[in-house]
Amino acid sequence: MPPAVILPIDPQHPDRRLLVRAGAVIRSGGLVAFPTETVYGLGANAFDDHAIASLYKAKRRDARDPLIVHLASASGLPRVATDIPEALGHLTTRFWPGPLTIVARRHPDVPGRVSANRPTVAVRVPAHPVARGLIEASGVPVVAPSANRFMRSSATRASHVVADLGEVIDLILDGGPTEIGLESTVVATDDDGSVRVLRPGAIPVEAIVVALRDAGIDVPVHVGAVQRVASNDGELSPGLLETHYAPRATLVLVSGAPASSVRLMVQLLHDAIAAGERPGLIVYDEDADSLIDPRMPHRVTISHVGSVASPETIAHNLFASFRDLDAAGVTRIVARTIDAVTTMPGRPPIPGGFGLARAIDDRLIRAAGSRVHLTGSMK
Ligand code: AMP
Ligand code: MG
């Protein structure tokens, strides 16, 4: 097929004619990449089984990894999901439009393929004017997984979409870099009615806890561990797979107190050079002085992603940093988590921390797979 048509579009005040044109492509079964406030999505008509099959094929996405259905407004929810638990219903009124995804019972009109034949479906209403305008113009709910090849880091710039999918999709709406840079927070309910955060993301877990408490909804909120182990059996939530969001280069991650982490990072860089790798470094502003010393070999490619005091900045830059380091030919990337992680024997590390920092560390851990070094020192 011919390469994707790329249409620049104003992210705040999108030209309606462009949205109508892109909406027509979706309605007729095509694939359109577009910016959301989190990352770029690859859109297809959620009611068109054939289009969804072609979306999985384009992304080379594992057929067991379910998609998120995107709506122009919450009023469309009954068309795609039923039996919304009160707690999740409240969270939608509080956080939609925005980067919160709820998982509820799938409406029979939604093809099973959308959710890898689960009885449930994931749904969100994005806040980005281009995303909302496109879904509205399509006249149908739109499935939109991140617009990258499966297992790779999510696309946060149109150029990332072109690099991964430019030859296999119809249209790319280029609305510039996405603002948040990390995916939505995915929430579901357990059988006992408690809320479970399946994927930490752009809406902090703490904000969910506060929203429920303020509404007088008295349910526990669980995060992480149990689900992550379950996900490794291929159930529940494949976005929680241990290796995901990864750069092409091997990511080696350090976790612990900043000072000891930095020391270990320097050591790992030297190891990488000794092993003949082309090393890259992801640097937080706070670490720059101790990490980038004048004796450091020129061969180290450095990517500055911002200050730990501004996790929003790091989130915004993280996936682009992975891709920039890949493009520079780096083969091994060294980085550290923002907060310390907790570990249990035989289980993958679990991010601690608050707010966006937790989501950033979650992505770093998954991108690193099993290559997480704990410094063991909190000094
Ligand atoms: P993506 O759209 O690529 O950011 O990934 C969507 C992720 O949402 C999946 O990988 C799952 O982790 C999660 N998800 C989607 N649908 C469901 C569902 N029905 N049940 C549980 N998790 C889901
Ligand atoms: Mg994805």
pLDDT in tens, the chain (379 residues): 899 999 999 999 999 999 999 999 999 999 999 999 999 999 999 999 999 999 999 999 999 999 999 999 999 999 999 999 999 999 999 999 999 999 999 999 999 999 999 999 999 999 999 999 999 999 999 999 999 998 889 999 999 999 999 999 999 999 999 999 999 999 999 999 999 999 999 999 999 999 999 999 999 999 864 433 333 333 444 445 556 788 999 999 999 999 999 999 999 999 999 999 999 999 999 999 989 877 777 789 999 999 999 999 999 999 999 999 999 999 999 999 998 887 777 777 778 778 899 999 999 998 998 788 888 655 4
Write down the pLDDT at residue 242. Answer: 53
pLDDT of res. 296? 75
Q: What's residue 225's pLDDT? A: 42
Q: In whole angstroms, what is the distance from residue 341 CA to residue 373 CA?
A: 10
**Does residue 92 line the site of ligand 1, with CB under 6 A?**
no
- What are the residues whose beta carbons fall under 8 Å from the beta carbon of 41, sequence distance 6 or more? 33, 34, 35, 70, 126, 131, 142, 144, 145, 146, 147
Extents of the domains making up the chain: 5-174, 250-374
User: Amino acid letter at 110?
Assistant: V
The answer, yes or no, to whether any atom of ligand 1 lies below 6 A from the CB of 362, is no
The residue contributing the CA closest to ligand 1 atom 1 is 145
Q: How far is the CA of 165 from the centre of ligand 1 (A)?
A: 20
Residue 52 in contact with residue 66, Cβ under 8 Å?
A: no
- b/e code 310-342 from CB counts within 10 Å (16+ = b): ebbbbbbbbbbbbbebbeeebbbbbbbbbbbbe
Q: Is 370 left (phi over 0), alpha (psi -120 to 50) or beta?
A: alpha
The hierarchical CATH code for the domain 250-374 is 3.40.50.11030
Task: Output the pLDDT for position 240.
Answer: 52
Is 42 a pocket residue for ligand 1 (Cβ < 6 Å)?
no
Ligand 1: atom nearest CA of 118 is: 19
pLDDT computed for residue 271 by the predictor? 93
Quote the pLDDT of residue 236. Answer: 42
Single out the residue of 52, 62, 68, 57 nearest to residue 101, CA to CA: 68
Handedness of CA 188, 194, 198, 200 (dihedral sign): positive
Check if 126 has its Cβ closer than 6 Å to any atom of ligand 1. Answer: no
Ligand 1 binding pocket includes 102 (Cβ within 6 Å): no
Was domain 5-174 assigned CATH 3.40.50.2300? no
In this prediction, residue 299 carries a pLDDT of: 84
Q: How far does the centroid of ligand 2 lie from the alpha carbon of residue 292, in Å? A: 32
User: What is the CA(184)–ligand 2 centre distance, in A?
Assistant: 10
Which ligand 1 atom minimizes the distance to the CA of 146?
3
Which pLDDT value is given to residue 5?
98
**Which residue, by CA, sits nearest to atom 10 of ligand 1?**
239
3-state secondary structure the chain: CCCCEEEECCCCCCCHHHHHHHHHHHHCCCCEEEECCCCEEEEEECCCHHHHHHHHHHHCCCCCCCCEEECCCHHHHHHHEECCCHHHHHHHHHHCCCCEEEEEEECCCCCHHHHCCCCEEEEECCCCHHHHHHHHHHCCCEECCECCCCCECCCCCHHHHHHHHCCCCCEEEECCCCCCCCCCEEEEECCCCCEEEEECCCCCHHHHHHHHHHCCCCCCEEECHHHHHHHCCCCCCHHHCCCCCECCCEEEEEECCHHHHHHHHHHHHHHHHHCCCCEEEEEEHHHHHHHCCCCCCCCCEEEEEECCCCHHHHHHHHHHHHHHHHHCCCCEEEEECCCCEECCCCCCCEECCCHHHHHHHHHHHHHHCCCEEECCCCC
The ligand placed nearest to the CA atom of residue 202 is 1
**N-term to C-term CA, the chain:** 56
Q: Which ligand is nearest to the CA of 244?
A: 2
